[in-house]
Amino acid sequence: MSHDPHALDDCAIGDSDEDDEEVVQAQRSLAQARMQKQKSPEALRRKVIPFHWAPMLSPLTSADVNACEALEHAALPDQSQACTKDQRPVE
């Protein structure tokens, strides 16, 4: 029985184990990239803070009172327009 190597090539799909392994590796790489993106600090931040957030913006605390007063004095040279510490809300 003689085998013509070209006859098998004509009817074969042409997949080899190496090709399959390349596809598997590519799929693994894509899955890993997706998981890395989901675990990225930016993605985690979006889950925790669903609105636009800038790192330089943060809620004010009692530690910010002096800085706020300095800003108020700079913005309002006429201190009659500024509020006193008694008028400021405390939380």
- pLDDT at position 60, please? 79
Asked, for residue 60, whether it belongs to a domain, the answer is yes
Q: How far apart are CA 88 and CA 34, in angstroms?
A: 48
Show the domain range for 38. Answer: 18-75
- pLDDT at position 27, please? 92
- pLDDT at position 91, please? 55
* Span 30-81, pLDDT tens digits: 988 887 777 777 777 777 777 776 767 777 788 888 888 888 888 887 877 7
Asked, for residue 89, whether it belongs to a domain, the answer is no
Please tell me the number of Cα atoms within 13 Å of 28 on its side-chain side.
6
Q: Model's pTM, two decimal places?
A: 0.30
Per the structure, how many domains does the chain have? 1
Say yes or no to pLDDT of 6 above 70: no
